[in-house]
Amino acid sequence: MGLRINDTAPDFTAETTHGTIRFHEWLGDSWGVIFSHPKNFTPVCTTELGAMAGIQHEFEKRNVKIIGISVDPVEDHERWKDDIQKATGHRVEYPLIGDRDLTVAKLYDMLPADAGDSAAGRTPADNATVRSVYVIGPDKKIKLILTYPMTTGRNFAEILRAIDSLQLTAKHQVATPANWQPGEDVIITAAVSNEEAVKRFGSFETILPYLRKTKQPVD
């Protein structure tokens, strides 16, 4: 059985470009994003890590720590940073895990269980399932899981949008509709009666008996 939403994110100790970390301890009371890439010094991955570096401040504003991972050694991560900056204009300052023995990748179902015990001799094609994203809450529970194929670079603005939804809905009994953007109307959950909705949100619009919308709550 693989990891599912609301499972506790597996804890681990790993070597990173910021030194040795214990994952849950490193997260502390923050939200977290752990995202993997197939292999250093490859084109799509270079654009992805640079894109993430370019919006790191947006994650920090939301109390979200970000950490990357691949099966490459830490020393390769350090050498690759220059290429990422040259290609994208952004320097990677967040930590990158060097998961040479595949321990973390297997904990998070980023590789098949029979992928072997070492990164030695592996190619990007061997790591076809390793473009994954996990969003983890301060309670260490998994809130979101995404997996992309090798040829499709991720949209990190979408991950920020999803985090905005997760953080909003964690505070208020609301949900967010399709294509929602911060500041737009939200959906009142079925757990909130009409009477309680008036108390909580003031006015709301009933579109269907089971679909009620209201303005986004303000903290």
Q: Give the model's pLDDT for residue 119.
A: 56
Asked whether the beta carbons of 74 and 15 are under 8 A apart, the reply is yes
In a domain, 139, yes or no: yes
Domain-located, residue 7 = no
* Domain range for 83: 13-153
Q: List the end-to-end C-alpha distance of the chain, in Å, as a whole number.
A: 38
Q: How far apart are CA 4 and CA 28, in angstroms?
A: 21
Q: Which of 97, 114, 120, 111 is nearest to 32 (CA)?
A: 97
Angstrom distance (rounded) from CA 186 to CA 196:
16
Residues 120 and 195 in one domain: no
Cα-trace Rg, the chain: 19
pLDDT value at position 219? 73
Identity of the amino acid at 196: E
Q: Specify the amino acid at residue 1.
A: M
Are 88 and 56 contained in the same domain?
yes
Query: Distance between CA atoms of 173 and 188, rounded to whole angstroms?
Result: 7
Hey, CA dihedral for 16, 20, 24, 27, is it positive or negative?
A: negative
Question: Could you tell me how far CA 215 lies from the centroid of its own chain?
Answer: 27
Residues 99 and 127 placed together within one structural domain of the fold:
yes
Do 27 and 58 touch, CB atoms closer than 8 A? Answer: no
39 belongs to a structural domain: yes
- Closest by CA to 97, choosing from 53, 146, 37, is 37
Asked if the structure places residue 63 within a domain, the reply is: yes
Per-residue confidence (pLDDT) for residue 7, from 0 to 100 = 97
pLDDT at res. 110: 86
Instruction: Go through the chain and tell me how many residues it has.
Output: 219
Task: Tell me how many domains the chain contains.
Answer: 2
Residue 2 lies in a domain: no
Residue 164 inside a domain? The answer is: no
Are 136 and 192 members of one domain? Answer: no
In-domain check, residue 161? no
Question: Directed axis angle between helix 156-171 and helix 43-54, to 10°?
Answer: 50
CA distances from 48 to 73, 145, 178 (A): 18, 17, 25
For residue 158, being part of any structural domain is answered with no
111 and 189 together in one domain? no
SS3 175: strand
The rounded average pLDDT for each run of 10 residues, N- to C-terminus, in the chain (219 residues) is 92 98 98 94 95 98 97 95 98 96 89 56 54 95 92 94 97 96 96 94 94 92
Catalytic option among 27, 33, 44, 45: 45
CATH of the domain at 186: 3.30.1020.10
pLDDT of residue 2: 83
Do 102 and 40 have their domain in common? Answer: yes
18 is catalytic: no
Whether 192 and 103 share a structural domain: no
Last residue of a domain, one of 153, 180, 204: 153
